[in-house]
Amino acid sequence: MKSLEDYLSMVGPADTGVIDSVQKRLDSQTKPLGSLGRLESLCRQMAAVQGTADPVFDKKVIFTLAGDHGVVSEGVSAYPQSVTGQMVLNFVNRGAGVNVLAAHAGCKVVVVDMGVAQDLDCEGLINKKVDYGTKNFTVGPAMTREQAEKSIVSGIGLALDYEFDILGTGDMGIGNTTPSAAVACVIMGSDARDVTGRGTGIDDDTLSKKVDVIKRGIILNRPDPADPVDVLAKVGGFEIGGIAGLIIGAAIKKRLAVVDGFISTAGAIVARGLNKYIDDYFIVSHLSAEKGHDIFTEWLGKEPVLDLGMRLGEGTGAALAIEIIDAAMHLYYDMATFDGAGVEKKSL
């Protein structure tokens, strides 16, 4: 079995050499140069990622990764921990937001138990359980280094096992904005206060407690900002590691990863910390309404495709962005050219 190091060595830069011919095709189409804006840059990135001016975009899969968090015993979430498992059943029964939006976007949803705190035995759930939830990181590390590596390698394995042309990431885990904020603020070197928000809807007192919990976790565990696996182990979560792995796996397969919101972007920050080429292979689907997500995306240098005030997670933002990418690719392949349609070009 390959190690995380083995996998990381398989990721190289995207093929920017194809971009000129992509742009040439876009410029031959019946529209003013560049007038499709972000849709054109999405076409260029799809092509560079796949290393061809004729990228494929038929098969789309959203992976919704679930995990539980020992830190919820500190009272950082508005919902009881049991909701993680209940929502997993909701995903498998196709009743959740991500199911509706994924169906709308023509995406398959793969639901994965990365570390839910209970046994879940239901058809259609993929079992990659690393442990029954993480430990409370205010009293010790959230997981062992081995578990952190296992969560990432499991995510890579998921990406390698499933066929897809575009991958979307998603998460479920009561309390998981807390480890996401913790992981990101350590790696980015920012103040916990600036990247800690209300999650599913906590009040002011709980928010203060949440910031304090993150600060105490970081002071106690001393994660090394230069070592993303250490950070993930000390203050992270299994689904965050899994999402980092999905993005790495997509890069290995030369396919675009569409990163969902706050939790998924924390995963992307881990992945990029492990290999700088990862940068070429993912986009951020939307700007979450969760405080701090703008700081995450600016740090990554990624402009989110959408900004709809959403903060649901699950892969809901990824599903909507995949719909936009699909539309962009249809334009790329289906629009008429100036010559073909007999339309005159720019005269000034």
Residues that bind a copy of itself (CB under 8 A): 29-39, 75, 77-80, 82-83, 86-87, 89-90, 93, 95-97, 100-101, 103-105, 199-203, 206, 289, 305-312, 316, 319-320, 323-324, 326-327, 330-331, 334-336, 340-348
Upper half-sphere CA count for residue 118 (Cβ side, 13 Å): 14
Q: Between 87 and 188, name the residue whose CB sits nearer to a copy of itself.
A: 87
Cβ 277 to a copy of itself shortest distance, Å: 26
Q: Between 37 and 189, name the residue whose CB sits nearer to a copy of itself.
A: 37
Q: What is the residue-wise DSSP string for 149-179?
A: HHHHHHHHHHHHHS--SEEEEEEE-TTTHHH
CB 170 within 8 A of CB 318: yes
The three-point CA angle 339-56-243 to 5° equals 140
Of the residues 146, 314, 323, 344, which is catalytic?
Answer: 314
CB 64 within 8 A of CB 27: no
Q: What CA dihedral angle connects 263, 266, 267 and 273, to 10 degrees?
A: 180
Helix ranges (DSSP H) in 134-291: 145-161, 177-188, 204-221, 228-235, 238-252, 262-274
Q: How many residues does the chain have?
A: 348
**Residue 58 identity:** D
Residue whose entry in the numeric block shows the structure tokens 């849709």:
39
Tokens representing 215 are 């600060």
Q: Between 98 and 112, name the residue whose CB sits nearer to a copy of itself.
A: 98
Cβ 144 to a copy of itself shortest distance, Å: 30
Q: Between 153 and 287, name the residue whose CB sits nearer to a copy of itself.
A: 287
Cβ 274 to a copy of itself shortest distance, Å: 30
How far is residue 223 from each of residues 54, 145, 169, 183, 190, measured CA to CA in Å? 43, 11, 25, 9, 14
Cβ 166 to a copy of itself shortest distance, Å: 15
Cβ 228 to a copy of itself shortest distance, Å: 28
Tokens representing 187 are 């790696």
314 is catalytic: yes
DSSP character at residue 37:
T
Q: Between 32 and 189, name the residue whose CB sits nearer to a copy of itself.
A: 32
Active-site amino acid positions: 314
